[in-house]
């Protein structure tokens, strides 16, 4: 079974621009979560989608948004990019509930804002 | 609020030596507990998880962890380090309710000396 796919793997943007990152979950997984990883703040939860609905949200400004499509693929968007948005953005797809719930991570998209 | 503390941002061991990576959590009730490994330029891979039941959990690549409620700890061990174990390790928790977000520790980079 194919793993979680994230595109693009690397991205360079200029301050003030916007960016869209894509995540294709493992086949059959209906939940997708997004995390931001930076050297200073570590791994931080952005949001989680299940069946096209945002189910959980982290403490990020409104510039960070996401959505999930009917085929479970997800996108996240960051508008008005700031230098501090430079990070590795990880997507995780999940299956199961309760104790059986496990997250499988993609390789990430490394975003550099100049 | 839940939090995770990983003692030691860097741990160095000799090949063949015992690996011990420390993780303590703060939670009003025992959460689900996880250890993930991240190799350079890759996403996170699940090593093992504790949900309920047996407190000694065995994972992949010879790693295991013991849940100690009285110490609020979930330390990761491996009897004999291999060069391929060099990576960054993250401890994470998730609440035992409808929350599906992971809260990560700051990570421990394991260095293995030949």
Q: Which of these, B76, B75, B78, B49, lies nearest to B62 by C-alpha position? A: B78
Q: What is the pLDDT along chain B (114 residues), one digit of tens a residue?
A: 778 999 999 999 999 999 999 999 987 777 889 999 999 888 999 999 998 888 899 999 999 999 998 999 999 999 999 999 999 999 999 877 667 789 999 999 999 999
* Distance from the A16 Cα atom to the nearest Cα atom in chain B, whole angstroms: 26
- Nearest chain A residue to B34 by CA distance is A102
> How is chain B split among helix, strand and coil, in percent rounded to 5?
10, 55, 40
Q: Tell whether the torsion through CA atoms of A102, A40, A55 and A72 is positive or negative.
A: negative
* Distance from the B23 Cα atom to the nearest Cα atom in chain A, whole angstroms: 15
CB contact under 8 A, B32 and A4: no
CB contact under 8 A, A99 and B103: no
């Amino acid at each position: 079974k194919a793993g979680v796919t994230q595109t693009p793997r690397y991205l360079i943007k200029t301050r003030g621009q916007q960016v869209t990152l894509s995540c294709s979950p493992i086949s059959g997984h209906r939940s997708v979560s997004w995390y931001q990883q930076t050297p200073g703040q570590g791994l931080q939860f952005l949001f989680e989608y299940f069946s096209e609905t945002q189910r959980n949200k982290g403490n990020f400004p409104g510039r960070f948004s996401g959505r999930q499509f009917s085929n479970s693929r997800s996108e996240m968007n960051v508008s008005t990019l700031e230098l501090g948005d430079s990070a590795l953005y990880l997507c995780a797809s999940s299956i199961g509930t309760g104790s059986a719930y496990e997250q499988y991570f993609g390789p990430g998209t490394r975003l550099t804002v100049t | 609020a839940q939090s995770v503390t990983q003692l030691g941002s860097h741990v160095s061991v000799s090949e063949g030596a015992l690996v011990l990576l420390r993780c303590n959590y703060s939670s009003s009730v025992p959460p689900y507990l996880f250890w993930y490994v991240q190799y350079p330029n890759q996403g996170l891979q699940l090593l093992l998880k504790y949900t309920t039941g047996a407190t000694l959990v065995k994972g992949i690549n010879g790693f295991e962890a013991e849940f100690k409620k009285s110490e609020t700890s979930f330390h990761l061990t491996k009897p004999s380090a291999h060069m391929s174990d060099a990576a960054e390790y993250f401890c994470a928790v998730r609440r035992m309710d409808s929350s599906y977000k992971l809260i990560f520790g700051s990570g421990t980079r394991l260095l293995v000396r030949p």
